[in-house]
Amino acid sequence: MDVLGYLIPASLLLGGLGLAAFFWTLRSDQYDDPEGDSRRILSDEYDEHPKPDSPNDDRGGS
C-alpha cells in the first residue's frame, strides 16, 4: 500500500501535464480548420509526389 503514495501523485502529475498540453494546443489554434483538412484529404488536386524544381532535376544521380 505504500506504493500508492508514489503512484497517485505521479498519475495526477502526468494527467495534469496532458491536460496542460491539450489546452496549449487549443490556444495555439492546432484545431482551427478540421473541416478543411478532411476535404483536402479527399481532393484529387494534390499529388502524392512533389513535382521537381526544374525540368532537368532528375535527383537520381548518374
* Successive 10-residue mean pLDDT values, the chain, 62 residues: 95 98 93 77 68 62 50
Cβ partners under 8 Å of residue 59, min gap 6 = 52
pLDDT at 29: 86
Cell of 30: 492546432
What is the rounded end-to-end Cα distance, in angstroms, of the chain? 68
Q: What local confidence, expressed as pLDDT, does residue 42 receive?
A: 78
Amino acid 51: pLDDT? 66
Q: Would you state the pLDDT for residue 35?
A: 78
Please report the pLDDT score of residue 48 as a whole number: 64
